[in-house]
A = this chain, B = another copy of it.
């Protein structure tokens, strides 16, 4: 049976020591997030994740969701009780505005909690995750009346939410969408069409399900500029705002998937369902895309979460499993063999994953904090600068953390040998679950294109220039610090590689856009390396400062932090050079072959 321990100490180190989020206590909601309060909240979230959600993870995978003849869906045993507890404890309301029933706490804190939930039970976490996404879209775009009607009950968990974008013939290219909306005399619309891969589209845990649906109003222009956003509840609200008449929409079937079996992935059939326009007509896709940064950050967190829980279980196994002897001489002569953690190649795997997890966690918090600043600061310049960086880092977080997070689950599985391939230790589930995060919410190839084609050139490259300046400034400030040399020198080198790659893109991507496409995935991963390196340099600096100024019992934690960062700088960050070579190779060879020859 797999186990899970929420990485509380690491979360607190990043939030309090590295990011020092207390200095933002002038922001709405941040004053409540004192170090004591943060510790209490994260402690509770960790406890729930460890004790309630994690034990349901394997059951969720094995039982899966069941589609019934009456088009209802039964979730795995225990999910409903866990959902009630999650809701009653207020987790669904944490980062939302107080006027709609939220607690107004930082989204940064919420990102930390979502990691714990997702490590413990990714399939479960998606149910409240989708509700949060739908609620956020309503808060941003709906009328005040709509917000009051739907949002409070979504935040309390009484109702849940979904996002309906994909259709069988269009996923990435939503301009081809066919689902149509016909205006009715009462101002509502009748929605007809089929949506697929709708996570949490139907289930038995909430008394209503609030679907956000993209559709084309009859007569709307073709393409993405003719798509509108609608809210279509499973049960239409009566005059008192309670679930009333059953709407003409239902789950036609469940997908059979590689993983996340505990989450209901639905084919949703809209058969003249009643829906209400949200925001401006024909501007639905834009409305959805405003939410995209948060949603993509959330998917990145899932990649980190699976990597973390896989790491923990692999480390436990490596300490317990005895097999063979250390090549540098027997370490446990009283045992028949040494535990496999004595083997350098096992440590290489564990350190690789660990050095990713800690950097990814820091990067998620760092970026989520930019998100909070972009929404809550009262200074226009601060908001704008934070929004730039959040937008820039979002595809990096989504694409790189889910790619590497998946790789890490595979590496962790390898530590188990044959046992890892059986269903006995639960580690193969982490692999299957983690795989989806690379695909949904914009496949990672799309993230790379978003970074190279949209985020880089946006506003004359303002975001990327600001980012280079921030990382470069950190390097300059610490370059003469002897202790920091093992961190700053590799980071400076990787930053130079990223700057060269960016320059190359500017020069060659305009001349031939295929060069940008050919470089995109490597560029995204090169960016990720630098971003992780930046986090490691920041963490190393904080750890050294704390060790000098009195670590107060956390010496070991801080020394391990410095070791793990050193490993990253020595062994992982130098991959930047290979990415740069590939980027500079250009598109010519890969575009030369005709399609039939593949």
Closest CB-CB distance, A242 to chain B, in whole Å? 35
Do B598 and A344 have beta carbons less than 8 Å apart?
no
Q: Which of A13-21, A230-238, A431-439 contacts B (4 or more CB under 8 A)?
A: A431-439
Give bound CA distance, A541 to B122, whole Å: 51
Give bound CA distance, A241 to B421, whole Å: 38
Q: Residue among A176, A319, A323, A344 with the most chain B CB within 10 A? A: A344
Do B589 and A418 have beta carbons less than 8 Å apart?
no
Q: Which residues of B contact A324 (CB under 8 A)?
A: 172-173
Q: Which residues of B contact A406 (CB under 8 A)?
A: 410
Given known A354-B598, A423-B256, A571-B585, contact A176–B337 (CB-CB < 8 A): yes
Q: Which residues of B contact A585 (CB under 8 A)?
A: 570-571
Q: Tell yes or no: A401 within 8 A of B by CB.
A: no
Do B598 and A350 have beta carbons less than 8 Å apart?
yes
A258 contact from B257, B428, B513, Cβ within 8 A: B428
Do B422 and A256 have beta carbons less than 8 Å apart?
yes
Do A255 and B422 have beta carbons less than 8 Å apart?
yes
Q: Tell yes or no: A23 within 8 A of B by CB.
A: no
Do B344 and A517 have beta carbons less than 8 Å apart?
yes
Residue of chain B at shortest CB distance from A429? B258
Q: Residue among A345, A438, A444 with the most chain B CB within 10 A? A: A345
Given known A171-B417, A347-B590, A431-B258, contact A176–B582 (CB-CB < 8 A): no
Interface residues in A432-465 by Cβ distance below 8 A to B read: 432, 435-436, 438-440, 443-445, 448-449, 453
Q: Tell yes or no: A8 within 8 A of B by CB.
A: no
Give bound CA distance, A567 to B436, whole Å: 29
Do B513 and A327 have beta carbons less than 8 Å apart?
yes
Q: Which residues of B contact A37 (CB under 8 A)?
A: none
Q: Tell yes or no: A597 within 8 A of B by CB.
A: yes
Given known A172-B417, A414-B445, contact A348–B590 (CB-CB < 8 A): yes
Q: Which residues of B contact A571 (CB under 8 A)?
A: 581-582, 585, 589
Q: Which of A282-290, A294-302, A572-580 contacts B (4 or more CB under 8 A)?
A: A572-580
Closest CB-CB distance, A277 to chain B, in whole Å? 26
Interface residues in A338-354 by Cβ distance below 8 A to B read: 339, 341-351, 354
Give bound CA distance, A337 to B173, whole Å: 8
Do B423 and A556 have beta carbons less than 8 Å apart?
no
A166 contact from B418, B449, B581, Cβ within 8 A: B418
Closest CB-CB distance, A321 to chain B, in whole Å? 9
Do A341 and B598 have beta carbons less than 8 Å apart?
yes
Do A414 and B444 have beta carbons less than 8 Å apart?
yes
A341 contact from B449, B560, B595, Cβ within 8 A: B595
Q: Tell yes or no: A516 within 8 A of B by CB.
A: yes
Interface residues in A137-195 by Cβ distance below 8 A to B read: 166, 170-173, 176
Q: Which residues of B contact A521 (CB under 8 A)?
A: 345, 348
Q: Tell yes or no: A518 within 8 A of B by CB.
A: yes
Closest CB-CB distance, A168 to chain B, in whole Å? 9
Q: Tell yes or no: A85 within 8 A of B by CB.
A: no
Q: Which residues of B contact A591 (CB under 8 A)?
A: 344, 347
Q: Which residues of B contact A431 (CB under 8 A)?
A: 258, 435
Q: Tell yes or no: A512 within 8 A of B by CB.
A: yes
Give bound CA distance, A593 to B563, whole Å: 8
Do A512 and B577 have beta carbons less than 8 Å apart?
no
Q: Tell yes or no: A328 within 8 A of B by CB.
A: yes
Given known A323-B172, A336-B176, A571-B585, contact A328–B598 (CB-CB < 8 A): no
Interface residues of A (CB under 8 A from B): 166, 170-173, 176, 196-197, 255-259, 315, 318-319, 323-324, 327-328, 336-337, 339, 341-351, 354, 406, 410, 413-414, 417-418, 420-424, 428, 431-432, 435-436, 438-440, 443-445, 448-449, 453, 512-518, 520-521, 556, 560, 563-564, 566-567, 570-571, 574-575, 577-578, 581-582, 585, 587, 589-593, 595-598
What 20 new A-B contacts, CB under 8 Å, besides A171-B417, A176-B323?
A176-B337, A258-B432, A327-B513, A328-B514, A344-B518, A344-B520, A344-B590, A347-B593, A349-B445, A351-B589, A351-B593, A414-B439, A414-B445, A418-B440, A431-B435, A563-B592, A563-B593, A570-B585, A571-B582, A574-B582
A-B contact list, 5 entries, CB within 8 Å? A171-B323, A344-B514, A347-B591, A421-B436, A428-B435
